[in-house]
Amino acid sequence: MTGIQHSESKSASLLRPWLDSPYATRLAEDREFALSLSKPLGCANPTFVLVEGEPRSKSRPTHQDNSKQNRQNAELRFQLQNSFPIPLTGNLAVACIFYRSSRKRIDIDNLFKEVFDAANGIAWHDDMQVTACTGMLKLDATYPRVAVLIGNVASSLDRAETVMKCQFCGKPFHFDRCDSGRRKFCSRICQSTSRRKLFSGIPPIRRYG
Ligand SMILES: [Zn+2]
């Protein structure tokens, strides 16, 4: 972890109790573990986020669980917003470690769904950018939490963003290669206007009289 002096005196560490908090200790450990999980995926430029609290599942929540789940989701979104000022583009890898406080039944796919829903529009533009994924579900009765690592990854299924020039108005626009290899216009308006011009040979807005 950056910013931590190992030669710190006892009084100095007392002044900064967060250094000894379960959050600070787990942060370093979890980051190392998430990095080791993401390594086989070929993940580059990883960003790590640790969210305190019970990892919650997306499926069939009761009324009470629903409010708890919303809090967890809001916290996850808040942390992601801090770490990702703008959404990442291109192919991404995600590594998650879910620490649950009990052995109560839970399905890992629903836990992933919760993370993906929170990250959509914040860490990335679209879920389909994630082309590599790994994770673990573990037990920590005293300190339940969710560790999330997101980074770039190379893939034969290319989700790279491309800049094109609109063939109608000339404005540059971004699109994901998977949208359509044939996209030529920045907007539906430019597309339909250009089509009308092409087929009728008349200007898009006709003035009578
Ligand atoms: Zn245009």
For residue 32, is it within any domain?
Answer: yes
CATH code for the domain in which residue 60 is found? 3.30.1330.70
pLDDT (tens, 9 = 90+) of the chain, 209 residues, equals: 343 444 444 444 455 555 667 788 889 999 999 999 999 999 999 999 999 999 988 755 555 556 666 777 888 999 999 999 988 989 999 999 999 999 999 999 999 999 999 999 899 988 989 999 999 999 999 999 999 999 999 999 988 877 778 888 988 777 766 555 567 888 888 888 888 776 665 555 555 54
Residues 6+ apart with CB under 8 A from 176: 125, 126, 129, 159, 160, 161, 162
96 and 54 part of one domain: yes
pTM: 0.70
141 and 167 part of one domain: no
Distances from the Cα of 193 to the Cα of 18, 169, 180, 185, angstroms: 60, 10, 19, 10
193 and 103 part of one domain: no
Distance of CA 127 from the midpoint of ligand 1 (Å): 26
What was the pLDDT predicted at 204?
53
Distance of CA 164 from the midpoint of ligand 1 (Å): 10
Distance of CA 31 from the midpoint of ligand 1 (Å): 44
For residue 115, is it within any domain?
Answer: yes
107 and 174 part of one domain: no
Handedness of CA 60, 110, 26, 16 (dihedral sign): negative
Q: Into how many domains does the chain fold?
A: 2
63 and 129 part of one domain: yes
Nearest-angstrom CA–CA distance, 155 and 18: 40
What was the pLDDT predicted at 200?
66
Q: Could you give the 3-state DSSP secondary structure of residue 3?
A: coil
Distance of CA 54 from the midpoint of ligand 1 (Å): 47
For residue 207, is it within any domain?
Answer: no
- Full residue range of the structural domain in which residue 191 is found: 161-200
Distance of CA 113 from the midpoint of ligand 1 (Å): 35
75 and 118 part of one domain: yes
Distance of CA 183 from the midpoint of ligand 1 (Å): 11
Distance of CA 187 from the midpoint of ligand 1 (Å): 6
